[in-house]
Amino acid sequence: MRKLMIGAMALVGLMATNSTAFAQHNRNVISNSGNGINNTIVARNVGQVQPCFGGFGGSGFNRNVISNSGNGIGNTVIAQNGGGFGYGGYFPGGGVFPGGVNVNVISNSGNGTGNRVIAGNSGRPGGLNINVVANSGNGVGNTVIAGNR
């Protein structure tokens, strides 16, 4: 499983370097934040339709990285990529992944008591959606959710 995840992340990295000039690049990085009691940490990217040459939308590349955050009691850590309607929407584009590339990485976060760790992507068919949750949600009464639509 670890080799599969490393391979998927390498693929995402290669795709990012070969993206077109019209690509949207959104990135949030949160480190060592919200540690304590009843904190909320949200990293979210929302794609927009961008007009491009020939009338087609540009592909989206969205990434959230949350590390060493939300540790304590009753914290919520959310990393989310999606369109303009709450959790829904899509990243228009062309090429291999017309639904865009959406990556969430949560590591060493949400450890303690009663914490919630949520990683989710929503995208149009053909998109590449990856959630990586590592060493997170350890403790008592924690919830870890990773989902893609």
pLDDT means per 10 residues, the chain with 149 residues, are 56 48 70 94 73 45 92 94 46 49 92 94 74 94 90
Angstrom distance (rounded) from CA 109 to CA 132 = 12
CB 130 within 8 A of CB 97: no
Backbone angles phi, psi at 2, to 5 degrees: -65, -40
- pTM beyond 0.75: no
Please choose, from the candidates 129, 134, 131, the residue with its C-alpha nearest in 3D space to the C-alpha of residue 149.
129
